[in-house]
Structure formats: structure tokens, C-alpha cells
Amino acid sequence: MMRCKFIGIMALALVAATGSARAADRLVVGFSQIGSESGWRAAETKVAKMEAEKRGIELKISDAQQKEENQIKAVRSFIAQGVDAIFIAPVVATGWEAVLKEAKDAKIPVILLDRGIDVKDEGLYLTVVRSDAVYEGQVAGEWLAKAATGACNIVELQGTVGASVAIDRKKGFEKIVSETPRLKIVRTQSGDFTRAKGKEVMESFIKAENGGKTICAMYAHNDDMAIGGIQAIKAAGLKPGKDILVVSIDGVPDIFKAMADGEANASVELTPDMAGPAFDALLAFKANGTVPPKWIKTTTRLYQPDTAKAEYERRKDLY
Amino acid sequence: MTRRFLPLLTTTGVFVAGYLLCMAEFHNFATARVACNLLTDNAYLGITAVGMTFVILSGGIDLSVGSVIAFTTVFLAIAIGPLRIPPLMAFLIALAIGAAFGAAMGAVIHALGIPPFIVTLAGMFLARGASFLLSTESVPITHPLYAMLNDLSLPISGGRLGLIAIVMLLVFLAGGILAHRTRFGANVFALGGNPASARLMGVPVGRTLILIYMLSGGLAALSGIVFSLYTSAGYSLAATGTELDAIAAVVIGGVLLTGGYGYVFGSFVGILIQGLIQTFITFDGTLSSWWTKIAVGALLFSFIGVQRLFQVFWSGSGDVDTA
């Protein structure tokens, strides 16, 4: 008993010492991140930290290890801490109603990053910051329409079947192709967003298309599949980037390396900077109550070989 | 007497010290809200841990509970959603499935003499696989009863003790009485202490074993109901690894992994310690969440070490640990 009391007194003394030292005027944001399953995800977390520092915001990050229950726990814990805002990159779309209601009751604004959720009442969150995947496909298509001068047979490596990103990136690209009679998608198949599957599917495309001679361009829904596809093109004795044009989406470091080596032609970036626009929206909301649009679209940029080397250097430590 | 309580006291001491440390570190930790969250957020784990306590007390192990939770959530989502079964009815069916599943595993363990580790490992794959069969995607539960049950709570000075936390506390209470005050409880301890002498003492080994795993399966299903309330959804990937968290909580709580010694209350403190570590890490906000696992691992090691020391020191002292 004596010892317990002693610890208690010590603890209280510590509370008094540290409690007052805390700066009260800094904005505190809790960020419930899905995990660190991919390079892009890790980059998103790193950029969020950098962007918070830039604006003098204290960012508390909780990695949910891909588990929704951990995310809910983290959000509830952020509410208990009385943070000024909560960012969530939701691992699944369902099951957010109760905890978001709690945040709303505590008057803590919630901003979703990178993915949307299914809730009946959209007022439960302030806004969602994510890219426009249809537009990404469109940008890739527009680049190809300019780059390919004559008639062009395109092969397409799709993402995972049913994934909303894959559906949207296909839709945007197809829109441009249908508007440009010179362009034609001759083969399309899923490469599951992975390098290995991308390579495999591209190998079969090359076999089917007269050893690749009749293919003018390859469009991949992500960079990883494009890198796999490039390997398949090289293995078939063709030159990727020259004999077959290569365009893909995401902007991971390796595709910039490929572009610098002349093996890829263009990549549409899915920016890992989701937190930056979210911070700006939050600051405006806190300062004068400006309600942001329900969907803040991140900027979509096309990168080409001319800047590839510099971009690779800039990114290689981020991912 | 004090000797018998020593592991429990150590655990409780660690928890209290940890809580004070957190209060010292974070200025807004000492609120009813944080305490209520600790109970509400770990409700599903706590309920499973009660079942696990019985299983481990009897010298067994149940690896299937996490999968049973996932199965229950998906089952409920589909039963209440597309099948339009009234929620309370669906709860009862889920509990019955969980209990029957557990009882079947208990029967196999007893009848075929296969180690519980193997049987429940098979059960783990079966239940997880079955939930994928029902749905691979997360299915939302939108029944109004869910919103109502989620709103039910006991307000405690700024905090809200949710319904699921209350359910967990009741389960712990009932579990404590069942383990320490009934014939069945005494049988469980006897079985864990020494199965051969338990049989000689007239303990109905088969029946007790089946009942233990039935209890664990039933509580896992209850935990699944609580989990589905917590997330308002059914997801076949839910609660992966919960069985291991529950085992960790039970062992940290001072229950001997070989069986025969421990308290249900210890498991309660065990889940609180795990929850506390998690809360500390979110409050800190700069540490990687994986430190939770590292801290729990370190705690497990030290507690098992301490238990072993106690055993060595007391062996032959005549103080038989049958609680």
C-alpha cells in the first residue's frame, strides 16, 4: 500500500510538471492510418508528417495494422485525447457510423484520406481527400493520343478485377480511345496490380500479337504491372519505350528509374500527398468556418522522361 | 494465502503503475472517458478471454475463437441483412452455432484424445473458411436495433460506458462465480491440475471437457455479437489473431499455461494491460503501433518467467494451488 501511494504521489507530481509545459495553441491532429502495406502507403504517412511540420501542426499517427477494430480504437482514443481534428484512411468502407457520431458529438471534424466510406449521413465527415481515378485514366489516354502519330494498337493491363480503382482507370482511358479513332485497344486482361502477373499477361499478349510486332503501346493500370510488362517486352527482343510505348499510373520510384533508362514513356502520378490538402481545408475550416467541398480532388500530374532522374532522386527515400 | 494471490497482485500492480505512468505522461489521460474507452474498446477481447481462461485453466488451448468471432459477424450481417431474420433471433442462432461448434471440438478432443492445439487449429481454419464462404467482403449491418444498442450507455462523468462494456463486465462476473464458486469450476481446476487424479477423484472428465469448449465457443460467438455491434458490420477478416491476444491476456493475468491455477479476474487485468499499452501508443502518436506487440511479448516473457520462479520456489511446500 505504501508503495502504491508513493507511486501515486510521484505520478501526480509529474502530471503537474509536464501538464503545464504543454503548448496549448498548437493544432493537434490524430491520423488513423491503415498500415504500411505498400511503398505508396509509407510515402503517404511520411508526407503527412512533413506537411504537418510545415504548418506547425502536431500530428499523432496510429498504424492500424490493416485492422478496422484498431482504427476504431484509435479514433475513439483521439476523441478522448480531445484532438482538434481526426484524419482517417479507412481500411474498409463499412462500420464507421457509431464512431463518427461520437466524433461529431465531441465536435471534432473528421477528414477521410484516399478512400471513401459508406455512411447514410454524409455530414458525419467534413470532406474526403482522394484522387480522381477516372481522370487519371483519361490523362494517360490523352498523352497516348498525342504520342502515337499513326494508327495504334493498344494492350491494356488491368488492375484487380472489381477494384474500383481499376474500373475507373479503365473507364477514363477508354473514353479517350473511343474519341480517337486511330487508337484501338486490341487486348485487355487483369494483371492484379502486381509485377509478376503484369509480366505474365504481357508475355501472352506478345505471343498472341505476332511476337509483339503489331502492338504499338502498353497501358497499365499501375506502375508495378508496367514494370513487369517492360521485362516481358525486353525478353521478347523488343525495345520498351521505342518499339512499344509504355504508359502507366501511380508514379512510384521504379517507374521513374525506368523512364530515366528510356524504357517507359509516361506515368500519371497518384500523389501520396493526401494530408497536405486536408490540412489546408482544416485550417480554413478552423479559421473562418469555410466548409470544403465533400470531395477534394488531389492534383493529377503526368510525368515524362525529361524530369525522371530528378523525380527518382526526390522520391527514392520517400517510398 | 498471500502467496496464492502473488501473481495476481503483480499483474494488478503492473496495471496500476502503468495507468499512473500514462496519467503522468499525458495531461488528458486521467478522465472517465479514457477509462470507459478502455473497457468498451476491449469488450470483445474480454469476453473471449473469459472463455479462454476456462480452457487454459483446464490445461487446454482454444485457437478457434478469433475465427468464430469473424464467422459470427458475417453470419449476423447476412442473417439480419438479406435474410431478414430479427436481430435477437439471429443472436440466439449465432450463440447456438458457437456453442455447438465448441462442444463438437471438445467432444473430438475427449473422444479421440487429440491435443486441443490440433483440434482447435482445425476449428480455426474451418470457421474462418466458412465465413469467407458466406462473404468475402465487409457487409454493413444497418438494422435500427444496432444503432439503438450502440447508443445505450451508462454516462459516467464525461465518459460513456457502452452496452458492450457492461456485457463484458457481467461476463467476467459470471465467469468468476462459475470458476471459483461452483462444482463445474472446481472440476475445471482439478482437470488442469492433474487429469489422472481428477479422474480418480470422480471428475466427469468427458463432460467437463465438452462443457469447457462449449463455453469458450459460446463466449466467442457472444464476442462476435459484440464485435458486430462495435463495427456495425460483418467481415470475414475481422478479429484475426484475437485468439493469441486472448491467450496473452490470460497468461499475463497470472493463469498458469499448463493449467490448474489462476483467477478469472487476472484475465480482466490482462486485457486492461494490453488495452492500456495500445492507448498509450495512440496518445503518444509517434511510436509505431507494433510496439504494442513488442510490449505484450516482453510482458508475456517476464510473466511466464515469474510464474516459473514461483513454481520452483514453492514446489514441495505443501501449498496446493487449487483455489
Average pLDDT over residues A291-300: 95
Q: Is the pLDDT reported for residue A9 higher than 70?
A: no
> Which among A7, A67, A95 is the nearest to B232, CB-wise?
A95
Average pLDDT over residues A223-245: 96
Q: Is the pLDDT reported for residue A13 higher than 50?
A: no
Whether chain B has a CB inside 8 Å of the CB on A262: the answer is no
Cell matching residue B63: 485457437
Q: Count CA atoms closer than 13 A to A281's CA, side-chain side.
A: 26
Cβ A32 vs Cβ A78: under 8 Å: yes
Check residue B286 and give its pLDDT: 86
Return the residue of A nearest to B13 by Cα: A4
- Domain ranges across chain B: 2-313
Q: What percent of chain B has pLDDT over 70?
A: 97
Q: Is the pLDDT reported for residue B321 higher than 80?
A: no
Average pLDDT over residues A141-164: 92
- CA B129 to chain A, closest CA, distance in angstroms equals 18
Check residue A18 and give its pLDDT: 43
**Which residues of chain A neighbour B140 with C-beta distances below 8 Å?**
94-95, 118
Confidence of residue A24 (pLDDT cuts 50, 70, 90): low
Question: Which residues does A280 contact at the CB level (< 8 Å), separation at least 6?
Answer: none
Whether chain B has a CB inside 8 Å of the CB on A72: the answer is yes
Nearest by Cα to A92 from A119, A61, A68: A68
- CA A277 to chain B, closest CA, distance in angstroms equals 21
CB pairs under 8 A between A and B: 114
Centroid of chain to Cα A239: 30
Tell me the C-alpha distance between B69 and B234, whole Å: 10
Pairing verdict, β A301-303 and B153-156? unpaired
Q: Which helix (H) or strand (E) holds A187?
A: strand A183-190
Cβ A114 vs Cβ A274: under 8 Å: yes
Tell me the C-alpha distance between B73 and A157, whole Å: 36
- A239: helix, coil or strand? coil
Count the neighbouring beta carbons within 10 Å of the beta carbon of residue A127: 22
Q: What percent of chain A has pLDDT over 90?
A: 79
B289–A65 CB contact, under 8 Å? yes
Question: What is the end-to-end Cα distance of chain A in Å, rounded?
Answer: 52
Calculate the average pLDDT of chain A.
90
Reported as a single tens digit per residue, the pLDDT across A157-173 is: 999 887 888 999 999 99
Q: Is the pLDDT reported for residue A10 higher than 80?
A: no
Reported as a single tens digit per residue, the pLDDT across B156-166 is: 887 789 999 99
Cell matching residue A69: 477494430
Check residue A261 and give its pLDDT: 95
Centroid of chain to Cα B124: 15
Confidence of residue B153 (pLDDT cuts 50, 70, 90): confident
Cβ A229 vs Cβ A292: under 8 Å: no
A18–B30 CB contact, under 8 Å? no
Check residue B159 and give its pLDDT: 78
Whether chain B has a CB inside 8 Å of the CB on A94: the answer is yes
Whether chain A has a CB inside 8 Å of the CB on B280: the answer is no
Cell matching residue A202: 504481357
Q: What is the DSSP letter of A117?
A: -
Confidence of residue B184 (pLDDT cuts 50, 70, 90): very high
Return the residue of B nearest to A23 by Cα: B27
pTM (predicted TM-score): 0.85
Average pLDDT over residues B221-234: 95
Confidence of residue A16 (pLDDT cuts 50, 70, 90): very low
Check residue B317 and give its pLDDT: 52
Whether chain B has a CB inside 8 Å of the CB on A19: the answer is yes
Check residue B1 and give its pLDDT: 53
The domain made up of B2-313 has a fold known as ABC transporter involved in vitamin B12 uptake, BtuC (1.10.3470)
List of domains in chain A: 26-131+272-288 (3.40.50.2300), 133-270+304-315 (3.40.50.2300)
Cell matching residue A300: 493529377
Tell me the C-alpha distance between A270 and A250, whole Å: 5
Check residue A94 and give its pLDDT: 86
Q: Is the pLDDT reported for residue B200 higher than 50?
A: yes
Per-residue CA distances from A109 to A58, A276, B33, B323 (Å): 16, 16, 19, 51
Average pLDDT over residues B87-116: 97
Confidence of residue A76 (pLDDT cuts 50, 70, 90): very high
Q: Is the pLDDT reported for residue A61 higher than 90?
A: yes
Average pLDDT over residues A114-143: 94
Cell matching residue B294: 513488442
Average pLDDT over residues B93-116: 97
Give residues 84 to 143 of B whose Cβ lies within 8 Å of A.
138-140, 142
Average pLDDT over residues A41-49: 93
Q: What is the DSSP letter of B297?
A: H
Calculate the average pLDDT of chain B.
92
Average pLDDT over residues B79-98: 96
